[in-house]
Structure 1
Amino acid sequence: MAPPGTLIRHDLSAARPRPPRGALVEIWHWCGSAFLALGGWRLRGDWPADPKCVIIAAPHTSVWDGIWMIAAAAKWRIRLRYMGKKSLTEGPFGGIVKWTGCIPIDRSKANDVVGAMKTEFAARTDLTLAVPPEGTRERTEKWKSGFYHIAVGAGVPILFAVMDYSQKTVSLPATFWPSGDYEADLPIIQSFYQAAQGKYPENFVLTGN
């Protein structure tokens, strides 16, 4: 664990995944590798050693972003988790939704999402939580701060994942341990996304609140 405010830049000349962890993970790894190769996408940056993190993947302007990110995670031998409505994990298809990585969240006003995710991180030894900072694929004038407050509350780093459709790359340029001051940290975080181009560039705006 690094001190708050620590920024660790990654070498992007390689893209080493996590070590093999069984047959199923290895099959998933090769499926992701093949899918990326067919689409002409490349990975840049080794997967860091931190067993827990909040990963922000941006720009997020298309449903394809999630598909490419899942494939990239597979190649890095990572299982991405994401938050979803509790109702999605109930009923006849609830088990399948959970299998895809969904962590059920009760979005009622009385529920504290940050607190719930803090508990989730504490209960697991390994957790990579993907949180889109824009919160939508449509154009938005500011990023939502949920990803930041979850990381601070859980005491885990933020891993930057930069998707660039102009180069067809998914890069991991840095890991950042938030200081707790969102206004001070946001410009540092967003600086790594300045040159990235989304599938629909007009929908990607780098402003925060």
Structure 2
Amino acid sequence: MQALPPQSAPWTHSAASSYLKLVGWKTTGTLPDSPKGVLIAAPHSSNWDLPFMLAVAWVYRLDLSWIGKHTLFESALGNKFFTWLGGIPVDRRARHGAVGQIIDRFDATDQLYIAIAPMGTRSKGKHWKSGFYHMAHGASVPIICGFLDYDRKRAGVGPVFVPTGDVKADMDRLRAFYEKVGALRPELKTDIRLADEEPAPLREVAE
């Protein structure tokens, strides 16, 4: 049987397709035939990015997961609600940090796509956060370039590749793609680089 990405509920595809058609957006690109992956959600400069990214994922029938602070899941109601929304609790106080916990989650499951916004926040930062890269590299899963291009009203999937450990070379691939993608608020678009673009050792789990 072919390994496929995790599938969302059947009704989500028609609902999301209708929504994007209503607002004049189109999707482009193809998801890889991989059961696991780290999906970059970029650029991120507005609260509107979340509903659009979720709608795009549903058009692809993709059941996306996301990382949340462990305290969101402490109550029975919170745990049920945020888990239903695709949340994965992470305790950043743990010895091996968020990266190590997500690598462990990838190792323990058959299907998992995690959406990460490397910019960290909607505000303009100095550089992208490196967690997405170390998660994908440590778990040996592909990086999927998800995008929202507000200039062209296009969204979907761009390049897909398994990180090599040559961080600068891999980031050059991301820069070549995302530098052409228009953010809703371009003045808040964070530079597409990591603080340290030296080669990354396999299975590194430091934050």
**Bucket of the pairwise TM-score, normalised by the shorter protein:** 0.7 to 0.9
Q: Does 1:28 align with 2:18?
A: no
Q: 1:185 aligns with which of 164, 170, 175?
A: 170
The alpha carbon displacement at 1:128 in A equals 0.7
TM-score, normalising length: structure 1 = 0.85
Instruction: Tell me, in whole angstroms, the C-alpha distance in 2 between the residues paired with 1:59 and 1:43.
Output: 16
The alpha carbon displacement at 1:109 in A equals 5.7
Instruction: Tell me, in whole angstroms, the C-alpha distance in 1 between the residues paired with 2:24 and 2:74.
Output: 37
SS in structure 2 of the partner of residue 184 of structure 1: helix
Q: Does 1:52 align with 2:36?
A: yes
Instruction: Tell me, in whole angstroms, the C-alpha distance in 1 between the residues paired with 2:165 and 2:19.
Output: 38
Larger deviation: 182-191 or 112-121? 182-191
Instruction: Report the counterpart of residue 101 of structure 1 in structure 2.
Output: 86
Aligned residues, how many? 190
Any unmatched runs of 5+ in structure 2? 196-207
SS in structure 2 of the partner of residue 80 of structure 1: coil
The alpha carbon displacement at 1:205 in A equals 2.8
Instruction: Tell me, in whole angstroms, the C-alpha distance in 1 between the residues paired with 2:148 and 2:57.
Output: 13
Q: 1:170 aligns with which of 119, 132, 155?
A: 155
Alignment check: 8 A CA contact 2:56 2:156 kept = no
Q: Does 1:137 align with 2:132?
A: no
Instruction: Tell me, in whole angstroms, the C-alpha distance in 1 between the residues paired with 2:28 and 2:70.
Output: 34
Alignment check: 8 A CA contact 1:190 1:206 kept = no
Instruction: Report the counterpart of residue 134 of structure 2 in structure 1.
Output: 149
The alpha carbon displacement at 1:110 in A equals 3.0
Alignment check: 8 A CA contact 1:162 1:192 kept = no
The alpha carbon displacement at 1:195 in A equals 1.2
The alpha carbon displacement at 1:65 in A equals 0.7
The alpha carbon displacement at 1:112 in A equals 1.9
Instruction: Report the counterpart of residue 206 of structure 1 in structure 2.
Output: 191
CA RMSD of aligned residues (A): 1.9
